[in-house]
Chain A
Amino acid sequence: MLGLFLVLFWLVTYQVKSGRLTFMEKPVLAVSAAFERIVTAPFRFADSAINGYVFLVRAARENERLKQEMDRLRLENSIAGELLGENERLRDLLGFKKLPPLSSVAAQIIAKDASPSSRTITLDKGSGDGVVKDRAVISAGGVIGKVQASLPGSAKVILLTDPGSTIAVRVQRNREEGLLEGKLERCALKYVSYYADIQEGDLLVTSGLDGIFPKGLPVATVVSVSKHEATAFQTVLARPVVRLSRLEEALVLVP
């Protein structure tokens, strides 16, 4: 038995050096996603019944609030439209390449975090809907993660807090760049120079340099910065802008 434990430890250290093994990943996803649909179906039905009928009373109040919200967003949208037009004209003038339009697939989350050492979710959309490996997954608030594996009717998403996740980001305030790695509940901004100006509260947005996430999506907020004279870098921890534990739906960006 001791030998088995040693083999497992060797296997873990081997993957740290050479990358995670994806042995049997798709068959396990197929079996678990099929069961997850069956297991979650009664909860989803009950949830929709409660939202549809029992809480109907709240609908009028909610409707009023949404109308006000829509008026505000219309105004913001018209300002944004003006700025977008101006931006496009300036890009044309400077001869910049046109940015491709974003389109997305909406998906429901059918399962979360099966293992204590990783942070993943399962979506009810898969390769049949254009949800394939390394597609960006976002919500209204910002980045959630990226697709790790997909099958025709389901996909596994690795969240930005997973230790295997890496996202190219920059500080919105001063455009300092770094790589954001998952650290379970938080993330760490890596390879930030000792002399870079990073402050608590800074918003980190995608830089687009990883080729997966488009530029400018909110990712995380800096919660602590510490400098150690022994290293050339500083330790920056950040909290995701999206509350990952409360997610119910997600958008997968597709070309």
Chain B
Amino acid sequence: MKTRVYLAMLLLIIPVQASLFGPLSLAGIKPDLSLALVYSIGLLTGPAEAAFAGMAVGLVLDIGSASLIGMNAMTKGLIGLGAGLLGRQVLDIASPMNAVFLSAFSLAESIIIALLLQTFYGEVPFFSLFLERMLPQALYTGVLGTLLLGFISRRKVLGALVRRSLLKE
């Protein structure tokens, strides 16, 4: 069951992120569903499993986009690791503090990507990127991701299914 859940997740992450979230975009800003997904896996499982799941999700995103293969795998792996550590020590899936942490993770990921691109190619307009894209996207991801997590945690059947399938074994 657990393998099937992860396979479905890897299969659906690009189409859902790229198309279903299109209608949810505000002034061209879209929430990062893949980040919210890796974050929730981190809270539900643990640092090691979430880091591997994050790497797998990131790798699929890298292959399916035009990005350098490994770039998203690295950042999403780090997010999984961080969320796993948070979930073990501080937070649960229903906490409203998730909005803050999701926004912080989203911002951290965007900054890491911008810094890597600056190192490799140069001339990344960091401040305009920060104001026009990184910050709004981080806030939007934080709000929408928390609503999604809240929805999952309130839906007992769905929540139980997700938990059971991820925690099994």
Contacts and interface: CB of A to CB of B under 8 A. Distances in A.
Q: Interface of chain A, helix or strand or loop or mixed?
A: mixed
Contacts of A207: none
A113 B77 CA distance: 20
Interface stretch (B27-35, B37-45, B153-161): B27-35
B123 A9 contact: no
Contact of B124 (A20, A184, A190): A184
Contacts of B117: 117, 163, 183-184
B65 interface: yes
Contact of B32 (A11, A116, A156): A116
Interface residues of A, number: 56
Given A4-B55, A245-B28, A114 B18 contact: yes
B123 A183 contact: yes
A20 B16 CA distance: 25
A163 B61 CA distance: 16
Contacts of A28: 14, 60, 63-64
A184 B131 CA distance: 13
A208 B107 CA distance: 38
A186 B11 contact: no
Contacts of A38: 15
Contacts of B133: 184-185
B97 to A, nearest CB: 23
A210 interface: no
A216 B151 CA distance: 51
A23 interface: yes
Contacts of A195: none
Contacts of B29: 245
Interface of B: 11-20, 22-23, 25, 27-30, 32, 34, 48, 51-52, 55, 60-75, 77-78, 81, 109-110, 113-114, 116-117, 120-125, 128-129, 132-133, 137
23 contacts: A1-B48, A8-B77, A11-B70, A12-B69, A28-B64, A35-B19, A36-B19, A38-B15, A39-B15, A39-B19, A40-B22, A43-B23, A110-B19, A113-B30, A114-B13, A116-B72, A117-B67, A118-B66, A164-B66, A181-B121, A181-B123, A185-B129, A246-B28
Closest 10 pairs (CB-CB, A-B)? A245-B28, A35-B15, A111-B18, A115-B65, A118-B67, A11-B70, A8-B70, A188-B123, A32-B14, A114-B18
